[in-house]
Copies of this chain bind each other. A is one copy, B any other.
Amino acid sequence: MVDDPVRQALREFTKERDWSQFHTPENLAKSITIEAAELLECFQWGQQADTQAVTEELADVLTYCLLLADRIGVDPGAIVLDKLEKTRAKYPVEKAHGSSVKYDRL
């Protein structure tokens, strides 16, 4: 996915502004959390939310996630699939079907 146009555009955006100096893994982890909470704010008082606002905040979380993946040198799609295999093992269909109970209490 090195030639992924989205990640390439983010790299150019960062390079143009010389912002990689600020994008330490720690700062990106803080930024992901800050943007996630802005997404959560769309739902602060209830389930209804403005889709445009949700979309933009989700884009911000995703942007910092892609920047962190780049910074630590991992492929976003690959790590999601790797983690999914571990989650499959923790939540076998026969036990987890229709349940939101955490694996350690399944």
Contacts and interface: CB of A to CB of B under 8 A. Distances in A.
Given A25-B49, A36-B36, A76-B62, A43 B55 contact: no
13 contacts: A5-B81, A6-B80, A17-B93, A26-B49, A29-B42, A29-B54, A32-B58, A34-B41, A36-B36, A56-B86, A58-B69, A58-B79, A61-B65
Contacts of A33: 33, 36-37, 39-40
A55 B79 contact: yes
A2 B93 CA distance: 24
A24 B36 contact: no
B9 A27 contact: no
A97 B80 CA distance: 33
Nearest to A76: B62
Contacts of A37: 33-34, 36-38
Given A37-B38, A68-B58, A21 B83 contact: no
